[in-house]
A and B are shown apart, each in its own frame.
Chain A
Amino acid sequence: MKAFDYQRADSAQAAAAMAANAQGVRFIAGGTNLLDLMKLEIERPETVIDISRLPLDAIEDTEDGGLRIGALVTNSDLAADARVRRDYEVLARALLSGASGQLRNKATTGGNLLQRTRCFYFYNRAMPCNKREPGSGCAALEGRNRIHAILGGSEHCIATHPSDMAVAMMALGASVEIQSPDGKTKTLALSELYRLPGDTPHLETELEQGDLITGVVLPAPVGGRQIYRKVRDRASYAFALVSVAAVIGLEDGKIGSAQLAFGGLAPMPWRNSDLEDALIGQTPSPELWGRAADILLADAKGHGENDFKIALARRTLAHVLDAACGGEK
């Protein structure tokens, strides 16, 4: 681990201001991902700003019936919150499918959104990786890419985003509250927070220097059936090969509302409005699930070892939609 300066912020504004003017700054809260990366020197911050004592650990009702989740709410607390369990079941289930009990006790909402990829090559400093070292190349494209993206990747990077929580939040239409260094706050839809890799895979979000995520806002619950289905290589403590977050409402035997997001497939939690539009107003049927998968996977591209994810995503989507529309859960 490279030696670093440690600073403690006493307000979100101060934290953002401190980060605005320093080089190589990282905020630290739970540290469950950052510390590992620092030990491996994949992250080598000059300065670490400790935000863990900021008063950002509340879960509050919003005026329009939604929920505001402080950035420092731990994954465990969020999953256990009565309102989350009642109204946003998909989020509680996604949280509990991630990491381990010990990690969830430390990991925070803001940090979870910003965790880095688990690409094997990103994790090995001797390997080319455009995300870790821009311009060095992507070793995963023609390498061991069983866990890599089939959607949204580029010829520069096919790493996936590892979060489960963010997938559920994406399906729920969450937005992110941000404290800027200039003292202002702004709000971004979660779908606008992340960037696709393109030719700059090292730039993962639209956050600007000094921006600090202070909370996540969930819109009022939409009802319907909520499912988070995570498919992985072992029963627990593994990242998703494919995950599906679904919030589906039925009206008179037809699909009235459909919000779907996918993990394990892309460099960011993946949502496709065409797919949702194609479901709404339709009668559930295996054929409809097939058409939905066709839309989702129209641009899917396998890279060898991850080819199976295309079939797996198709199968998992059908099985989740079936369960959400009254089949077995």
Chain B
Amino acid sequence: MDVNFKMDKPVERSLLDTTNQNIISRPLDRIEGPLKVSGRAKYSAEFKLPNMAHGVLVGAAIGKGRVKEIDVKSVEALPGVLMVVTDTEKFLRNPAQGMDTEAPKQGVTSIDYFGQPIALVVAETFEAARNAANALSVTYEDAEGRFDFDARIDTAKPKKDSEKNQGDVDDAMRSAHANVDAKWTTPSQSSAAMEPHASLAHWEGQKLVLYGSYQMLSSNRLQLADAMGLDPEDVRILAHYVGGGFGAKLGIGPESVAAAVAAKDLGRPVRVVMTRQQVFEATVRRSNTVQHLQLAADAEGRLTGVSHETITGNLEGEDFSEPASAATQFLYSGANRRFGNEIVLMDQVLAGSMRAPGEAVGMLALEGAMDELAELLDVDPVELRKRNIPERHPTSDLPFSSRSLAECLEIGARDFGWSKRKSAPASTLEGEWWIGHGMATAARSNMLIKSSARVTLQPDGRALVETDMTDIGTGTYTILAQIAAELLGLPIDAVDIHLGDTNFPPASGSGGSFGAASAGTSVYLACEKLRQTIAEKLGGEVEDLVLSDGMARMGNTSEPLSELIAEPLEATATVEPGETGKAFVQAGFGAHFAEVAVHAHTGEVRVRRMEGTFAAGRILNEKTAISQCFGGMVFGIGTALTEDMMHDHRYGHIVNRDLAEYHLPVNADVPQLKVKFLEERDHAANPLLAKGIGELGISGAGAAIANAIYNACGVRVRDYPITLDKLIDHLPDPKGL
């Protein structure tokens, strides 16, 4: 029984609003939680296959040039060494970008970035392989590298089709009552997921089986098949649990192909786990950005012009450019508009998608500029935003599918106590700390991606959900179980969720905040189909069917599901995006409020409290959704204050390539966080009436902190992260207060 559903028109009524099982939306604990905290949830690097060998990648020790010679003999005699793979034909130059259906660049003889994998040393143990990888003698021919972004910024070339012009921004700027015209810079960032990239490859005849730590298995399968010259049917990828991805595991990485090649050559399973340093050097980064923001406003504080132009870097042959103006294009009004991206060719590790590509750093600039504009206009920052919420999309004139932005701003401000804020900077000194408050809007586009799932109702009354969807720590297992339990009238522990195996129906994968809505809809549709079949078995209309506590009721008839079903009852459903994706602007919205303290002598910044108010359609599980927002807000703290992937301009390498020196926020950096969701339904998004939430919490979060820093001490820093060295020379004298 297959169901195909295209989201062509808004869904008027969702079954989830009628089933009354009180399972959907509830803040249930993760169903796989006990497995994770007791070490029984197996991650890719934890699988052990008989006769498994261990591979360690060797990264280029220069940033640009080519390998003259890899002296395999230099390590062959070392104890335990089995082989050295130097397959330039098959090796990936860099990871695949998210949702690519082909392999990334292969057959490269040049070295295009420092750490580019050039060999895999395979040995009987991990320790022996790592030792031999360190000992491998490689001679290089150096070439001049493109390592200094600032020095090369004039070579930036427009990204194809990124330019958008409406009206005349320059004229709007000239005739504005007030305007902001400034540049913001953000550094390269690393996803730095706790679980490093890892692949375990083995061959079953001509078929490749790979345990890989990836986010999007159905496209990963196509990438890997293309890289290995295989039919996709002959590639199986498993990822039951993934220890964080944040974009870095959207596409296959070099370790997967290296493991597959070695396993084939050796005739043994081969496991390759990247070192922490390699994760920084040879996976994917968020590009540094230079963003030029221009805002023009009239005397009433209404925007007349908005321009957001972005320059990023990437490897030759890669056209991804952080779409920093993604939310700027629809968030605020203004008749005159200009957007565009330019790319500087750099010999640096691949730039690609990292959590909320676009909004995560774009809103640092936009919301900083809005804060500056509010000050120039002497309008409250919350009020300025509310005043500029457009009726419809400012360019396409499309309606918004659902948008509780004004409510988020109002309720968020009320809960935070925004009205007590002193608008003049450097007004509050508590002991040695300047105290300030800042806010920013949150916005993140919503998407629906083709996704399939199979739901089987078993004769014993249990349900089984199968899809190659992943759970990268977001709560997928739990929300899919909630959807199935709600719609089939089963207790949640009567639902088994099997994820992360390309033998199951292909799903959207985890990325772009679309996973819950896309994979969730496929489960919804399959359950809907099963409800229909059950109704038919009972000889009635599905509208009259009530499924509850494992019983099927129709009028006066009531029968246990286990008695009604003799054979497993199976439905496979596929959802595809359709016309509603084109007819509506779809996005999640929210408001961030932050209180910070800036040390009057040292410039240290501490976030004292942070509150996010969000609306993202139906919330599928309040607990996992709040956790997603917490995570995004913590990302915001790191983005605002600490994270900076430092490139060396002479050697091209990443200087701080471990968790000691790449400063993610630690517990002590994260204050009491509060998240509130507003009740909302989005009928154009999907039958769940839910929107994405995974990236909403980060969008704008850092800007609220930056704006609070300005309010605290009067120092406006547009160069992220806002480390103390950028503050100390400008701090006000506390004695002046």
Q: Which of B431, B642, B656, B667 contacts A120 (CB 8 A)?
A: B656
Q: What is the 8 Å Cβ interface bit string for chain A, positions 86-113, against chain B (1 contact, 0 not)? A: 0000000000000000000000000000
Q: Which of B114, B648, B666 contacts A234 (CB 8 A)?
A: B666
Complex: how many Å from CA A319 to CA B601? 7
Q: Which of B431, B653, B728 contacts A311 (CB 8 A)?
A: B728
A1 an interface residue at 8 Å Cβ cutoff? yes
B127 an interface residue at 8 Å Cβ cutoff? yes
Q: Are B61 and A233 in contact (CB under 8 A)?
A: no
Q: Are B653 and A126 in contact (CB under 8 A)?
A: yes
Q: What is the 8 Å Cβ interface bit string for chain A, positions 114-151, against chain B (1 contact, 0 not)? A: 00001011011111000000000001001110110000
Q: What is the 8 Å Cβ interface bit string for chain B, positions 651-694, against chain A (1 contact, 0 not)? A: 10101111011010111110000000000000000000000000
Q: Are B661 and A234 in contact (CB under 8 A)?
A: no
- Check A328/B655 contact, CB under 8 A, given A233-B663, A238-B663: no
Nearest CB of chain A from residue B190's CB, rounded to whole Å: 15
Q: Are B668 and A234 in contact (CB under 8 A)?
A: yes
Nearest CB of chain A from residue B3's CB, rounded to whole Å: 50
Q: Are A328 and B653 in contact (CB under 8 A)?
A: no
**Majority-rule SS of A interface residues:** loop
**Residues B56-93 near A (CB distance < 8 A):** 61-62, 79
- Check A312/B61 contact, CB under 8 A, given A124-B653, A126-B653, A139-B651: no
A39 an interface residue at 8 Å Cβ cutoff? yes
- Check A144/B724 contact, CB under 8 A, given A118-B660, A124-B653, A236-B667: no
Q: Are B653 and A125 in contact (CB under 8 A)?
A: no
Q: What is the 8 Å Cβ interface bit string for chain B, positions 422-440, against chain A (1 contact, 0 not)? A: 0000000001100000000
- Check A316/B602 contact, CB under 8 A, given A139-B651, A143-B648, A233-B663: yes
List of A residues within 8 angstroms of B661 by Cβ: 118, 120, 147
- Check A236/B669 contact, CB under 8 A, given A120-B656, A311-B728: yes
The count of chain A contact residues (Cβ–Cβ below 8 Å) is 37
Q: Are B728 and A328 in contact (CB under 8 A)?
A: no
Q: Are A235 and B606 in contact (CB under 8 A)?
A: yes
Q: Are A125 and B134 in contact (CB under 8 A)?
A: yes
List of A residues within 8 angstroms of B669 by Cβ: 234-236
Q: What is the 8 Å Cβ interface bit string for chain A, positions 239-258, against chain B (1 contact, 0 not)? A: 10100000000000000000
Complex: how many Å from CA A55 to CA B209? 53
A85 an interface residue at 8 Å Cβ cutoff? no
List of B residues within 8 angstroms of A235 by Cβ: 606, 666, 668-669
Nearest CB of chain B from residue A254's CB, rounded to whole Å: 23
- Check A144/B666 contact, CB under 8 A, given A118-B660, A315-B602, A319-B432: no
Q: Are A312 and B127 in contact (CB under 8 A)?
A: no
Nearest CB of chain A from residue B192's CB, rounded to whole Å: 14
Complex: how many Å from CA A325 to CA B655? 40
List of B residues within 8 angstroms of A147 by Cβ: 661
Nearest CB of chain A from residue B658's CB, rounded to whole Å: 8
A3 an interface residue at 8 Å Cβ cutoff? yes
Complex: how many Å from CA A237 to CA B62? 31
Nearest CB of chain A from residue B666's CB, rounded to whole Å: 5
List of B residues within 8 angstroms of A125 by Cβ: 61, 134
List of B residues within 8 angstroms of A120 by Cβ: 646, 655-656, 661
A176 an interface residue at 8 Å Cβ cutoff? no
Q: Which of B62, B641, B665, B728 contacts A308 (CB 8 A)?
A: B728
A51 an interface residue at 8 Å Cβ cutoff? no
Q: What is the 8 Å Cβ interface bit string for chain B, positions 702-737, against chain A (1 contact, 0 not)? A: 000000000000000000000111001100000000
Q: Are A234 and B665 in contact (CB under 8 A)?
A: yes
Q: Are A3 and B79 in contact (CB under 8 A)?
A: yes
**Residues B130-147 near A (CB distance < 8 A):** 130-131, 134
Nearest CB of chain A from residue B458's CB, rounded to whole Å: 45
Q: Are B724 and A231 in contact (CB under 8 A)?
A: yes
Complex: how many Å from CA A315 to CA B730? 13
Q: Are A236 and B666 in contact (CB under 8 A)?
A: yes
List of B residues within 8 angstroms of A316 by Cβ: 601-602
Complex: how many Å from CA A200 to CA B130? 30
Q: Are B724 and A234 in contact (CB under 8 A)?
A: no
Nearest CB of chain A from residue B355's CB, rounded to whole Å: 19
Q: Which of A1, A118, A123 contacts B130 (CB 8 A)?
A: A1
List of A residues within 8 angstroms of B576 by Cβ: none
Q: Are A233 and B646 in contact (CB under 8 A)?
A: no
List of A residues within 8 angstroms of B604 by Cβ: 231
A204 an interface residue at 8 Å Cβ cutoff? no
List of A residues within 8 angstroms of B723 by Cβ: 233
Q: Which of B79, B134, B646 contacts A41 (CB 8 A)?
A: B134
List of B residues within 8 angstroms of A186 by Cβ: none
B40 an interface residue at 8 Å Cβ cutoff? no
Complex: how many Å from CA A82 to CA B725? 37
List of A residues within 8 angstroms of B655 by Cβ: 120-121, 124, 143-144
Q: What is the 8 Å Cβ interface bit string for chain A, positions 290-329, against chain B (1 contact, 0 not)? A: 0000000000000000001001100110110000000010
Q: Which of A3, A121, A236, A318 contacts B601 (CB 8 A)?
A: A318
Q: Considering only CB atoms, which chain A residue lies closest to B60 in the complex?
A: A126
Q: Which of A143, A146, A231, A328 contacts B602 (CB 8 A)?
A: A231
List of B residues within 8 angstroms of A184 by Cβ: none
Q: Which of B277, B642, B653, B667 contacts A233 (CB 8 A)?
A: B642
Q: Are A328 and B432 in contact (CB under 8 A)?
A: yes
List of A residues within 8 angstroms of B127 by Cβ: 1
Q: Are A312 and B602 in contact (CB under 8 A)?
A: yes
Nearest CB of chain B from residue A160's CB, rounded to whole Å: 13
Nearest CB of chain B from residue A138's CB, rounded to whole Å: 12
List of A residues within 8 angstroms of B648 by Cβ: 139, 143-144
B650 an interface residue at 8 Å Cβ cutoff? yes
Q: Considering only CB atoms, which chain A residue lies closest to B602 in the complex?
A: A231
Q: Which of the listed residues A39, A147, A234 has the most CB atoms from chain B within 10 Å of its own CB?
A: A234
List of B residues within 8 angstroms of A39 by Cβ: 130
Complex: how many Å from CA A39 to CA B667? 27
Complex: how many Å from CA A308 to CA B724? 9
Complex: how many Å from CA A241 to CA B655? 17
**Residues B107-143 near A (CB distance < 8 A):** 114, 127, 130-131, 134
Q: Considering only CB atoms, which chain B residue lies closest to A147 in the complex?
A: B661
Complex: how many Å from CA A41 to CA B428? 51
Nearest CB of chain A from residue B598's CB, rounded to whole Å: 13
List of B residues within 8 angstroms of A239 by Cβ: 660
List of A residues within 8 angstroms of B131 by Cβ: 1-3, 41
Q: Which of B651, B660, B728, B729 contacts A127 (CB 8 A)?
A: B651
Q: Are B728 and A312 in contact (CB under 8 A)?
A: yes
Q: Are A236 and B668 in contact (CB under 8 A)?
A: yes
Nearest CB of chain A from residue B134's CB, rounded to whole Å: 5
List of A residues within 8 angstroms of B651 by Cβ: 126-127, 139
Q: Are B646 and A144 in contact (CB under 8 A)?
A: yes
Q: Considering only CB atoms, which chain A residue lies closest to B664 in the complex?
A: A234
List of A residues within 8 angstroms of B602 by Cβ: 231, 312, 315-316, 319
Q: Which of the listed residues B127, B602, B641, B651 has the most CB atoms from chain A within 10 Å of its own CB?
A: B602
Q: Considering only CB atoms, which chain A residue lies closest to B78 in the complex?
A: A3
Complex: how many Å from CA A316 to CA B604? 11
Nearest CB of chain A from residue B79's CB, rounded to whole Å: 7
**Residues B237-291 near A (CB distance < 8 A):** 277
Q: Are A311 and B666 in contact (CB under 8 A)?
A: no
Q: Which of the listed residues A118, A123, A311 has the most CB atoms from chain B within 10 Å of its own CB?
A: A123
The 6 closest A-B CB pairs, nearest first, are: A235-B668, A308-B725, A126-B61, A236-B668, A319-B601, A120-B655
Interchain Cβ contacts under 8 Å between A and B, 12 examples: A3-B131, A120-B655, A125-B61, A126-B114, A127-B651, A144-B655, A234-B642, A234-B665, A235-B606, A312-B724, A319-B602, A328-B432
**Interface on A for B, CB 8 Å cutoff?**
1-3, 39-41, 118, 120-121, 123-127, 139, 142-144, 146-147, 231, 233-239, 241, 308, 311-312, 315-316, 318-319, 328
| Given A41-B134, A142-B650, A235-B666, 19 other A-B residues pairs in contact with their CB atoms under 8 A | A1-B130, A3-B79, A120-B646, A120-B655, A120-B656, A123-B658, A124-B653, A124-B655, A147-B661, A234-B663, A234-B669, A235-B606, A236-B666, A236-B669, A237-B668, A239-B660, A241-B724, A308-B728, A328-B431
